Structure 1
């Protein structure tokens, strides 16, 4: 999987959130407070996963659930925007090299993704001026977003501003006019038109309107969704419709063909990136039995023009879209690229120095091959195959086009 280095000081993040949520009385929790918080986190986790059909549309209006979200889910959700931003920064067309970047965050919640964007750009040598517009239907979310924005910008060296609007984003005509370089929908697409019969078609229409009306001609629409099968497959259905509507997938897909994962109802694509959580999240995991040791999410980056991450890759590049499938005497993965989604196999007896990178692949990696054996419905690696893990070069490269 892509190895992205997350630079925010987690001690500062934890301290800031605790102080903010406790009205500045203390930067730590008592055992009783921690147990109460853990109970609320379990409730919210179940609403996100097992009981999505009863998830209130404005669940962050609930003080206890809002506190649970901010202490447990917000710290990890901050970093999910880093991967698509990193991929955009790799393109030689210098997609993110503007002096000023205007960002529209639809369904912003308490400003989670805004904090992630601030963190990403604050670590770059060239820092653009960031102009954020946050839109949410919950007033308290916007109030928290402004407070956290102020706390973070006081501690990072970056020029940034924030405007907030209380609007139901499903009513696109109410969104303030403007042209934006980045439009963000983070963990919100799956909540739009949720109880309506034709929710997929309505989401496609919504996104088509948003992109055509508000996205700059060289802008990027970034969608981040939970890594659940249901929500991700719905996003992939929307992806296919948006491609038909003329939009370009910048990443993670390396092809514009219909998504091959949709042909099997058990398949879906998502990221699973290693992450070292703050101390309080480790404590909560011990109390609840939950695990927050990696960042699991699905994402799409859409553009109006034809630029794509594949522009900087070899033509025979593929994305690894499964965990390693290990069995006696062989190692397999599913990869996706030209020709769709296919299984690729290497027998232990065929290991050589030229194909040893195959042993190190992880979900999300981009890989290329030479002298790969094409068996029709699957690929095979033998002793003469060369394997190159492109992610080990492009994602770890210190050079960004910013």
Structure 2
């Protein structure tokens, strides 16, 4: 069933009622799509990338953001928001005197997210923005209010849909207070509460900012929101319409090239064995014995990492900019590309060619080429290309790598 389908949502909510009986705690969530603005490809690229259509919810939220936004602070900026995913952190139930508390809890939340792969390596693909929403009273609605509207700016409350640990927010109010962004963004709402709970996969990811498990909760919930991942615990709904869940066992996946068939037999990143097809009590198969989508504090398994990276690359381009403007070039200027940065000593691969023939890199990071030494005859035209490619072994879908994770920039020089 497609993301956002009401039947899928109902099954997710039904499963949440069973979470309290689970042996290991797992964060609670709603299933559904998150809104994103589209990014246009850089001028001069040879790879054509169609922007995904905006949902009706995203269009409404964009209009709401145009008025009434709260004060914001850019607490981490890695690049132009037009080619970054901005994590927008808002607080609910924090009074004017508690804004420092919200700031500390917001910092703890996004840092916890950037402490887990693949977000750690790809943290340069994200900007972080804090929105200072002042509540007239401290705290949020923690008790079952039987449908009464909470009195805080974001309307955050536990007992959403009758489930104690399901923490919901007013998505329209949250979008309006977040303000319009110039690129794709995820809205993350922190409640001024020490209770355990959260939600992910909807237009607003939520967590209790004061919970001792807040860092682990956001790691789990963002898996829903960014990667469209499903829950892998035994009491989750038996809905396999997620990249990390399957109704088919290992033999059928390998035979028919289904789901995570490319990863079968690969070593799990948490050292817990190999990727296979592990059957949960609900009858649905998961890729590994355990993961952060099954038990808080774990790691994303390899199929889930790939799913997250694919969603990220659907929203950002691997190249920020190029100089001079790709296309016809006058003279022999230095040619430069600016790939998005990776952390941990990694970088996107850059290969240079002239008329299809490889060129020796002239810079340590391979980001520029000086064509002054090219032996061109008067009137001779050559094409110099820079191919920027993410070669990470966390992606095994080579067709996706070619389409979304590879960018070719071309210049035409005349002798």
TM class by shorter-chain length?
A: under 0.3
TM-score by length of 2: 0.23
TM-score by length of 1: 0.23
**Bigger-Rg structure (1/2):** 2
More helix by share: 1
